[in-house]
Amino acid sequence: MIYFIGAGPGAEDLITVRGKNLLEQADLIIYAGSLVNPGLLKYAKPECVIMNSAHMTLEEVIAAMVPAAQEGKLVVRLHTGDPSVYGAHREQIDLLRGYDLDFEIVPGVSSFCAAAAALKAEYTLPNISQSVIITRMEGRTPVPNRQKIADYAQHKATMVIFLSSGMLEKLSQELIKGGYKADTPAAIVYKASWPDERVVKCTVGTLAESAAKYGINKTALITVGGFLGNEYDRSELYNPTFAHGFREADPSKLDLKPEVK
């Protein structure tokens, strides 16, 4: 069996219980060494073979996985965050299908969730944004037409921008081209959940200079939008004037305050 496991954003205790249990049983672990916390490898049993995919090609990864899985070994492919977000696991799955091997995917905490936690923020504030756009700047990997930063900026929804902290001047320009004002709140979250995590609050216009000030040029997410401000509507779900399947409406509860000791 082959398991594609999300390692979480960095902190060793942000892997899922299921992911950790499988790491403990694995006979072969191939981990994405550029971003996965090597501390997670301590969960492996002593005889487990461990390989770092940062030095490997797709073909080499498959060539290592297939014979081990065919011998009945438990193979773990450990991806950073959640494998479904820029994880490049689809191409591995498609090659594995040719060998009639069983595989399963174990989700992980994506770094965009860890970034929200670091910011102590909610991406989906009522009347500010009800959508989160996960995207990236075009780099060596092209971005399809109508999916460029400027296209998405037009929506004024919360944006979480991966893989782009090395091109922040251009990112600012694209966001402004799409309609964001230069003073729109933005934040750079470096190594969310790692011991050296850093949160830098800035604006769309000051992304590059703010990152440069702290020497940040990789392992960071850029978040943009009104969710970083102080204006929003309270939720209907928890509003005393609003009834739903689990609760009657009771406007008198609007006056409810905690008892102060």
Cα 13 to Cα 259: distance, rounded to the nearest angstrom? 35
Question: Which is closer to ligand SAH, CB of 114 or CB of 171?
Answer: 114
- Min dist CB 53 to ligand SAH, Å, is 13
Question: Which is closer to ligand SAH, CB of 2 or CB of 216?
Answer: 216
Q: How far is CA 15 from CA 22, 35, 36, 174, in A?
A: 11, 14, 11, 34
Binding mask 43-82 for ligand SAH (x = CB under 6 A): ------------------------------------xxxx
Question: Which is closer to ligand SAH, CB of 68 or CB of 81?
Answer: 81
Q: Is 135 in the site for ligand SAH (CB under 6 A)?
A: no
- Min dist CB 61 to ligand SAH, Å, is 16
- Min dist CB 140 to ligand SAH, Å, is 13
- Min dist CB 79 to ligand SAH, Å, is 6
Q: How many residues bind ligand SAH (CB under 6 A)?
A: 24
- Min dist CB 109 to ligand SAH, Å, is 8
Question: Which is closer to ligand SAH, CB of 103 or CB of 194?
Answer: 194
**Would you list the DSSP string of the chain?**
-EEEEE-BSS-GGGS-HHHHHHHHH-SEEEE-TTTS-GGGGGGS-TT-EEEEGGG--HHHHHHHHHHHHHTT--EEEEESB-TTTT---HHHHHHHHTTT--EEEE----HHHHHHHHHT--S--TTT-S-EEEEE--SSS---TT-SHHHHHTT--EEEEES-TT-HHHHHHHHHHTT--TTSEEEEEESTTSTT-EEEEEEGGGHHHHHHHTT--SSEEEEESGGGSS--PPPSTT-TT--BTTB---GGGGG--PPP-
Q: Is 117 in the site for ligand SAH (CB under 6 A)?
A: no
Stretch of 137-145, 147-155, 214-222, 228-236 lying at the interface with ligand SAH (CB under 6 A):
214-222
Binding mask 181-200 for ligand SAH (x = CB under 6 A): --------x-xxxx------
Question: Which is closer to ligand SAH, CB of 111 or CB of 210?
Answer: 111
- Min dist CB 135 to ligand SAH, Å, is 11
Which phi-psi region, left, alpha or beta, contains residue 41 (left: φ > 0; alpha: ψ -120 to 50)?
alpha
- Contact footprint for ligand SAH (CB under 6 A): 9-10, 35, 79-82, 85-87, 110-111, 114-115, 162-163, 189, 191-194, 219-221
